[in-house]
Amino acid sequence: MNRLEVKNLACERGGRLLFSNISFSLNPGAVLVIEGRNGAGKTTLLRMLAGLRSIEDGVVSFDGLSIEQLADAYYQQMAYLGHLNAVKYDLTVSENLKFAQQLSTVVSNIDDALHKVGLDGYQDTLSRHLSAGQKRKLALARLLCIHKRLWILDEPFTSLDKSSIAMFEGLIHEHVSQGGMVIITTHHPINLPDSILLRLTL
Amino acid sequence: MHLRAFGAVIVRDLLLAFRHKSELVNSIAFFILVVSLFPLGVGADIALLRKIAPGVIWVAALLATFLSLDQLFRSDYEDGCLELILMSPHPVSLIVLAKIMAHWMLTGVPLTLIAPLLAGMYGLENSSIAVLMLTLLIGTPILSLIGAIAIALTVGLRKGGVMLALLILPFYVPVLIFATAAIDAQIAGFPVSGQINMLLALLALALTLSPWPTAVALKMSLS
């Protein structure tokens, strides 16, 4: 069964212990909200879970194997959205999504994804002409058109308006109800049923 | 599956370069300026020009490539696309090789095609120009491949410029020596196969040994 397990994760940065003894397990159908004050190490934790930062102490395993062993196999299951949108300004909206798809194994329709995030009709617009919120939406649309079980989202609601946040909460709900998993940090109160929410405070 | 990703990266990088031409034109313009200013400065002594031609053209090509290298991973690093690429289910070294190939198509190939036009100013004969083009064709991808390692190491630094030069230029010297030696040998009427074979060996070495450390260095720069 797909499940993410974290045991005794610790991280030190600049001679300071950011966090230690982080342990949790995340099953399909659940959303993990990571909370903490500024500088608590939320982004660092997420980057470790995404395999972008090496794990110095502790184990992160997916399906029982550590993510360092899994390497490429883990990346077939995991999508990460960081502070940066990973949107190329000189490519059109659909070219950006198409490139993400070409790097992935299982994909779905670009137009459907754009419809879901409310970017209908922007397919051929150069991404540099989008507003900050629209660029964020484009980054979210990328999650929808590459099929990954686990989403790791670092402040996904930055520069989104209220209705877009509600829309995206709906998409998260839809993803986990189909057996997906989501790990998310956010400063917004998240509006999802408590039955699927787990909370971790750093 | 991996090949499709390889092709996608090349096509994307070429498309981006054609949409954003200034970077593409910069290094080529530099090459043309340096190579065409030299004869004006040195004067119309054809024997002297013929003698310095291989060195001048090759040093200009080398520096033009060096100038263009900074862009190899910079924009992908700044907008987050590098993370996206590193987290794809493909070998990072393969993706890196695709980016290097795209870089070569945008610098090495145009330099090789422009060189014969400029070589006329130095009074090189057609057979020498053919050898010059051959050395550029084999040598410029080596420059891109070696440079990629150093660029990957310094992409996280805000000002990598001087350190980059110190890192890269010593490794460029063998390429410069064998390439210019080949052209000199041709002008003197000797066979050039020895130098060309050395260049080919360097290319094989760079092709097999460069993508892997570049991929490791990129991961280090991101973490």
Q: The complex's ipTM? A: 0.87
Q: Contact at 8 Å (CB) between A184 and A190?
A: yes
| Tokens, residue B13 | 């990088």
Q: pLDDT tens-digit profile of A105-134?
A: 878 888 888 998 888 889 899 999 999 999
* CATH for A190: 3.40.50.300
Largest Cα–Cα distance in chain A? 50
Given a contact cutoff of 8 angstroms between Cβ atoms, the answer to whether B172 and B62 are in contact is yes
The number of folded domains in chain B is: 1
Does the beta carbon of B8 lie under 8 angstroms from any beta carbon of chain A?
Answer: yes
Asked whether residue A128 is assigned to any structural domain, the reply reads yes
Grade residue A187 by pLDDT with cuts at 50, 70 and 90: confident
Structural domain contains residue A83 = no
- Contact of B114 with chain A, judged by CB distance below 8 Å, is answered with no
In-domain check, residue A84: no
B1, B78, B87 member nearest A50 (Cβ): B87
Answer yes or no: do A116 and A172 share one domain.
Answer: no
Predicted local confidence at residue A195, as pLDDT = 84
**What range defines the domain where residue B132 resides?**
2-222
CA dist A52 and A50 (Å) reads 5
Same-domain pairing of A109 and A124: yes
In angstroms, the CA A38 to CA A49 distance is 19
Domain that holds residue A3: 1-77+149-202
Domain count, chain A: 2
* Contact criterion met (CB < 8 Å) for B4 and A83: no
Indicate if A66 and A158 belong to the same structural domain: yes
pLDDT tens digits for range B69-83: 888 898 899 888 999
The verdict on A19 and A45 lying in the same domain is yes
Mean predicted confidence (pLDDT) in A143-166: 90
Q: What is the mean pLDDT of chain B?
A: 91
Residue B208's pLDDT band, with cuts at 50, 70 and 90, is very high
The reply to whether A71 and A106 lie within a common domain is no
Tokens coding A70 = 């899994």
Percent of chain A with pLDDT over 90: 32
Q: Is residue A138 a part of any domain in this protein?
A: yes
Indicate which of B15, B23, B78, B81 best probes the interface with A, i.e. most A CBs within 10 Å of its own CB.
Answer: B81
Pair (A59, A9) in one structural domain: yes
Cα–Cα distance between B52 and B34 in angstroms, integer? Answer: 13
Residues A4 and A42 in one domain: yes
Q: Does residue A20 sit in the same domain as residue A120?
A: no
Closest CA to B144 of B173, B166, B172: B172
Tell me whether B16 touches chain A (CB under 8 Å).
yes
| Predicted pLDDT of residue B160 | 66
User: Helix or strand or coil: residue A24?
Assistant: strand
The half-sphere exposure of A9 on its side-chain side, counting CA atoms within 13 A, is 24
Q: Establish if A105 touches chain B: CB-CB under 8 angstroms.
A: yes
Q: Report yes or no: A122 and A114 within 8 Å, Cβ to Cβ.
A: yes
**pLDDT reported for residue B190:** 93
- Domain membership flag for residue A115: yes
